[in-house]
A and B are shown apart, each in its own frame.
Chain A
Amino acid sequence: MKAEELMVKKIEFIDADAPVYDAIEKMIDKRLRSLVVKPKDEKDTYGVITARDIVFKVIGKNIDVKKINVEEIAEKPLICINRTMELEHIINLLKNYNISRAFVCDGVEVVGVVALLDVMGAALIQKAKGS
C-alpha cells in the first residue's frame, strides 16, 4: 500500500508568527493533532506544530499561550515522503525518526499526512485482504 492510498488530505496551515493560542484554537475547532507551519519567507521552509509540542513545551512549563509564537516551538523542516512510498518504508521512517506523522509532499507542496493511526488502519486492512 502506497502513501497516497492511506494519506489524509485534511491539512491545516498556520502562520509562523501566530501565537500558540491560535494554533490551539484551530486544532480544537478542526479536530486536528497537528498543523503545518507556513514558511516565514522564501528562504524559510515548512514546519509542524503538534498538540504534544504545545502541551510539553508551553502548557507544561506554565508559559502563556498568547505570549509565545508558533515558530518558537515548531519542528522544522517537515519530514516529507513521496506519494509512492510503500507502507513498510513509512513505518521504518516513523520509527527511525521517532515521529507520529510524516507529510506527503509533491515538490514543495504538502498534499497529505500519514499518521500512526492511518498506518495501523492500513496495515490491518492489508492483513484482512490477504488472509
Chain B
Amino acid sequence: MGIEKMLFGGKAEQQVLEKIKTHIRILWSASDCFQKALEERDRDLVYCVPDLEREGDSVRREIVSKIYEGAFLPFLRSSICRFVEIVDEAFDVLEDAAYEFENLNLQLDEDMEEDCVKIADTNSKMCEMLLLAFETLFGKGDLREKNLAVRIYEKKVDEIKFDLLKKMRKKEIKNFWEGKTLSDFISYLTHVSDVIEDASDYLTVIKTSLK
C-alpha cells in the first residue's frame, strides 16, 4: 500500500476530499453569481451569494465533523480544517461584498463598474484554479504551477484595485454613509482574491507537511 493510499485512500478520507471539492465548487458558483449580479444589477442574483454561503457553511460543518470522527491521521487534521476555514473566510468576504453592493442600491459609476466586474470575473477564475490546485494535492498534477496561476490572477486584481482606488478618491461623496459603503464594497471585493491566494498557499504548506 502506497503512502498516499494510506493517508487519503480510506472511505472517510475520500468523503472528506469530495466534500472539500464541493465546498470550493460552491464558492466558485457564488463568485459567478456575484459577477452576474454586478453585470446585470440583479437583486435576486445578489441574494444567491448569501444563499450559497449558507450552503457552504453547512458543507464546512460536515467536513469538520467527519475529520474529527477520525478521518485522516491526527497530524493532518488541523491543517485540512485550517484550509477549509480559509475557504470559508472567502465566502464571508464575498457575502460582505454582496451586501454592500445591495446597500449601494446596485449602482456603481460606469468607469468603476467595469473594473469591479473584471475583479469579480478574476475572483471566479481563481476559484476554478483553487479547485484544480486542491485536486493536485492528493492526485496528479503540479501544485506549484496552479499556485503560480493563482498568484498571477491575484496580481491582476491588485493592479485593477490600484486604479479603482484612484477613481474612488476622485469621486464626489455627498454623505458619510455613501462614502463608507462604497469604500467597504471595494475593500471586500478586492479582498476575496487575497483570501483565495492564502488558501492556495496553504495547500503548499499541506503538501510540504506530507513529504
* Chain B residue contacts of A10, Cβ below 8 A: 159, 163
In the complex, which of the residues A8, A9, A129, A131 contacts B129, with contact meaning CB atoms closer than 8 Å? A129
In the complex, which of the residues A8, A9, A121, A131 contacts B152, with contact meaning CB atoms closer than 8 Å? A121
Is B148's CB under 8 angstroms from A128's CB? Answer: yes
Please provide the chain B residues from 108 to 164 with a CB less than 8 Å away from any CB of chain A in the complex. 114, 128-129, 132, 141-142, 145-146, 148-149, 152-153, 155-156, 159, 163
* Chain A residue contacts of B156, Cβ below 8 A: 121
In the assembled complex, how far is the CB of residue A29 from the closest CB belonging to chain B, in whole angstroms?
A: 11
Q: In the complex the two chains form, what is the Cα distance from A125 to B149 in whole Å? A: 5
Check if A28 is an interface residue, CB within 8 A of chain B.
Answer: no
Is A131's CB under 8 angstroms from B153's CB? Answer: no
Report how many A-B pairs have Cβ atoms within 8 Å.
Answer: 30
Which of B142, B149, B153, B159 has the most A CB atoms < 10 Å from its CB? B149
Q: In the complex the two chains form, what is the Cα distance from A124 to B156 in whole Å? A: 14
* Chain A residue contacts of B141, Cβ below 8 A: 131
Q: In the complex the two chains form, what is the Cα distance from A36 to B47 in whole Å? A: 42
CB-based nearest B residue for A129: B132
Is B163's CB under 8 angstroms from A124's CB? Answer: no
Q: How large is the interface on B (under 10, 10 to 19, 20 to 34, 35 or more residues)?
A: 10 to 19
* Chain B residue contacts of A125, Cβ below 8 A: 129, 149, 152-153
* Chain B residue contacts of A127, Cβ below 8 A: 145
CB-based nearest B residue for A121: B152
* Chain A residue contacts of B114, Cβ below 8 A: 9
Which of A9, A124, A128, A131 has the most B CB atoms < 10 Å from its CB? A128
Please provide the chain A residues from 81 to 131 with a CB less than 8 Å away from any CB of chain B in the complex. 121, 124-125, 127-129, 131
In the assembled complex, how far is the CB of residue A98 from the closest CB belonging to chain B, in whole angstroms?
A: 25
Is A124's CB under 8 angstroms from B159's CB? Answer: no
CB-based nearest B residue for A10: B163
Is B163's CB under 8 angstroms from A128's CB? Answer: no
* Chain B residue contacts of A131, Cβ below 8 A: 141-142, 145
* Chain B residue contacts of A128, Cβ below 8 A: 129, 132, 142, 145-146, 148-149
Q: In the complex the two chains form, what is the Cα distance from A8 to B149 in whole Å? A: 17
Is B129's CB under 8 angstroms from A124's CB? Answer: no
* Chain B residue contacts of A124, Cβ below 8 A: 145, 148-149, 152
* Chain B residue contacts of A9, Cβ below 8 A: 114
A binding-site residues for B, Cβ under 8 Å: 8-10, 121, 124-125, 127-129, 131
Known contacts A10-B159, A125-B149, A131-B145; can you find 10 more A-B pairs with CB under 8 A? Answer: A8-B159, A9-B114, A124-B148, A125-B129, A127-B145, A128-B132, A128-B145, A128-B148, A129-B128, A129-B129
19 contacts between A and B (CB under 8 A): A8-B159, A10-B159, A10-B163, A121-B156, A124-B145, A124-B148, A124-B152, A125-B129, A125-B149, A125-B152, A125-B153, A127-B145, A128-B129, A128-B132, A128-B142, A128-B145, A128-B148, A131-B141, A131-B145
